[in-house]
Amino acid sequence: MEKRKIGSLEASLAGLGCNNFGWRIDADGTAAVVNAAIESGINFFDTADIYGGGQSEEFLGRALKGRRDKVLIATKFGMKMAEGKQGGKPAYIRQAAEDSLRRLGTDHIDLYQIHQPDPSTPIADTLGALDELFKAGKVREIGCSNFSAEQLREAAQATKGARFVSVQNNYSMLHREPEAEVLPECQRLRIAFLPYFPLANGLLTGKYRQGQPFPKSSRAEDGFGPKVFTEENLALVEALRGFAESRGHTLLELAMAWLAAKSSIASIIAGAKTPDQVKANASAVAWRLAEADLTGLERILNG
C-alpha cells in the first residue's frame, strides 16, 4: 500500500480508526480487525484514551504485541476521561501520556495528538509539555485534532520545539468544511491532514438507500443519523453510487479514492468492526481517480 509522510513517519494511505475497540467490539474482535489490517498493508492505527474508556488502547496494545516495531500507533488526549482528567495543561499531559503508554503496553507513541483545543490553556504551554515528551523519546511526533486554521496558525507561531505535524478533522465528500481554510493552511505550514469520518458515519459505505430503513446495529440506528442522514444527502449518495458503479467501483471505494486524490492527506482514518470491513477500506485506496473523474465528481457534489 502507498505510504505518505506524517512528519518523519511513513503511514499507510488507509489507516485504521480504533474508536470501535472496547465499545462496539471486544478484545477478540479487536485482534481480528487488527490482524486483517496488517495483512492488508495498513500500518497506521489511530486511537484515543477516551475510546472505550481506555479499553481501545488496551485492546490495541494487546493485539499488536510482538509486532510493535512494524506499526505506527497514534493516540490522543484532552477529552474528559474523568473528573480533573482533561485538557491541555502540562501536568495533565504528562499524566495522560504515561497512562496511554501503560495501556498500550509500549515505551513510545508514534503520533501523540491533542484531541480538541483547550481554550483554558495557552497553546504554548501545551506545546512545551509535548516537546518534553518528544525530547524524552516518549513520543515521535505530535499533532492536533479538531483545530481551525486560525488555531493551527497560533500553534505554529507559539512553537519553540516540536511542532504539530498533523491535524485530524472531519472530512468527506459530504462534509467539505476543511477545504475553505484548514486544507490551504496545511499546505502552507506543511502539515499532514488526517480525515476522520471519511465515510460520513457510514452513509458512504453503500448500505443506506433512500426510502429504506436503517440496517440493524448501524451507526445511523445507534443515533449518529440526524446530522448526515438527511434526504438531501441520501439523494446525493444515490448520484455518487451511480457514478462509482458506472466505473466498476463501489460507493465506498469512491469515498476513499476521492480523499486519496488530495495531496495534503496522509492517511485516511476509517473505522471497522469486522475483518471484511477493514479489508474493503484498505483495498479502496488503490483506485486512482483520473482528472476527468474528479471534474465529474465536482459537478455532482456542487449540485
Q: Kindly list the catalytic residues.
A: 51
Measure the CA–CA gap between 51 and 150, rounded to whole angstroms.
Answer: 27
Amino acid at 5: K
Asked whether the beta carbons of 145 and 76 are under 8 A apart, the reply is yes
Of the candidates 265, 216, 192, 207, which has an alpha carbon nearest to the alpha carbon of residue 14?
A: 265
CA atoms within 13 A on the CB side of 299: 6
Q: Alpha helix locations (H) across the chain? A: 27-39, 55-63, 90-104, 123-135, 149-158, 182-189, 225-228, 231-245, 251-260, 275-284, 291-301
- Tell me the helices (H) and strands (E) count for the chain, helix number first: 11, 10
CA atoms within 13 A on the CB side of 272: 28
CA atoms within 13 A on the CB side of 70: 12
Q: Could you give the maximum distance between any two Cα atoms of the chain, in Å?
A: 55
Measure the CA–CA gap between 106 and 237, rounded to whole angstroms.
Answer: 41
| Residue 272 Rama label (left phi>0; alpha psi -120 to 50; beta) | beta
CA angle (103, 109, 111) in 5-degree steps: 130
